[in-house]
Structure 1
Amino acid sequence: MKVGDLVSFLDESGEGEIIEIDGNTILVDVQGFHKSYDISKIIKREQGFEAQIINSRVINKDASVSRKVKRAVDSEVFVVDLHASAIPNFRNQLKGHNILLFQMETAKNHLKAARKNRLKKMIFIHGNGSGTLKYQLEQWLNSLSYISYQDASYKSFGQGAIEVKLYNSK
């Protein structure tokens, strides 16, 4: 990392520009405010990453699983596979934290679409990895007043999915 790089934060939302580096302490300009971060708590943002997210589409890695899921849940359920392996063709270009950023952006875009289409329920498949994606999803979902969530059906999804119920859809 160097002065001028754009960075995101591991423990909070937002981004900023590095303005000073002093050993393991990084001074970041966040919307005009200067904040210090430990180097282990930030990640360099790849240039053009947002454009890749906006111009991408999510590919379901297990199409046959999706068909089974549709029969198992009612027709108004929207299933979103957030596995890293479901990332489109540029997945080999994404590294580390950028994969998590992409997964979270995908979840946010799909929830927005579900609200727009007045869906009542959706499923986010996060898988059974280290738990980082599930934790980030739960932190984000806890901040939303128009939803409730719980673990999805273990019978249909195992322990790797969250069921979200939407209220007052817009």
Structure 2
Amino acid sequence: MISKGDQVAVLDEDQNGIVVAVNQTEVTIETEDGFLLKYQMRELLKIGDTSELKQAATLSSISAALLEKQSSAKRSFVKEKKSKKEEFVMEVDLHIEKLVPSFRGMSNHDILTLQVDTAKGQVEFAIRNKIPRIVFIHGVGEGILKLELDYMFARYPEVIFEDANYQKYGLGATQVYIKQNPNR
């Protein structure tokens, strides 16, 4: 039994100290550096008293510790398999502040043209590099950019498009699937 004034060592740490207070199962020790730390009674070992060490090494306590270790839930290391479509999603943010450092002085027409040209370039890049899926983040706004994108995507026979995942992107995103043609 540990009592006030005993010198103790912490089992799982390189820490020694003198017991300054004992409550039910909690023990407060003052370390050699002068810090007050709280530990559970079972985490401490009285220094200089070999009876406790002998008691800790009995066969029954070892088997109890092994039983406790076995009963703890084993973690599963089974890796989830993802489909190939979910492996890589190219995301393109078409908000003007993401495309140019400053859009001061640009007309709405210039901004829209830059956004549509960027989307067109990214679709063509994805087709060339066989990237199966792109998400274009365009925002909600008045819907003009979305209409222009829909018109542009419809001109590509290998492209299928739909609204992107609402939970992840909200209303302002369009997802584009690119049919892969093995004959190319």
- 1:106 maps onto 2:118 in alignment: yes
Deviates more, 1:79-88 or 1:102-111: 79-88
Tell me, yes or no, if structure 1 residue 92 matches structure 2 residue 134.
no
1:76 maps onto 2:81 in alignment: no
Please tell me whether residue 140 in structure 1 is matched to residue 152 in structure 2.
Answer: yes
Question: Aligned equivalents of 1:162 and 1:132: distance in 2?
Answer: 13
Can you list the C-alpha shifts for 1:94-132, whole angstroms capped at 9, x where unaligned?
Answer: 221000000000001111111122110000111010000
Per-residue CA deviations over 1:46-69 (Å, capped at 9, x if unaligned) read: xxxxxxxxxxxxxxxxxxxxxxxx
Checking the alignment, whether the CA contact within 8 Å between 2:91 and 2:134 is kept in structure 1 is yes
* Deviation for aligned residue 1:168: 2.6
- After superposition, the CA RMSD in angstroms is 1.6
**Paired residue for 2:139?**
127
Q: TM-score, normalised by structure 1?
A: 0.54
Distance in 1 separating the partners of 2:89 and 2:155: 22
Q: Secondary structure at the match of 1:91?
A: coil
- CA distance in structure 1 between the partners assigned to 2:98 and 2:145 by the alignment: 14
1:109 aligns to what SS in structure 2?
A: helix
The aligned residue for residue 56 of structure 1 is none
Structure 1 residues without counterparts, runs of 5 or longer:
1-72
Task: Work out the CA distance in 2 between the residues paired with 1:167 and 1:93.
Answer: 39
Q: TM-score, normalised by structure 2?
A: 0.50
Q: What does residue 177 of structure 2 align with?
A: 165
| C-alpha distance in 1 between matches for 2:130 and 2:141 | 31
Query: Aligned partners of 1:108, 1:127: CA distance in 2, in Å?
Result: 17
What is the CA–CA distance in structure 1 between the aligned matches of 2:156 and 2:125, rounded to whole Å? Answer: 15
Tell me how many residue pairs correspond in the alignment.
Answer: 98
* Structure label with greater radius of gyration: 2
Task: Write the letter of the residue equivalent to 2:121.
Answer: N
Partner residue of 1:152 out of 139, 164, 167: 164
Higher relative contact order (CA 8 A, sep 6+): 1
Gaps of 5+ in 2: 1-84
- Aligned partner of residue 159 in structure 1, secondary structure: coil
- Structure 1 residue 165, shift from structure 2 partner: 0.3
Q: Is the CA contact (8 Å cut-off) linking 2:120 and 2:152 kept in structure 1?
A: no
1:79 maps to a residue whose letter is E
Matches within 5 A, 1:8-47: none
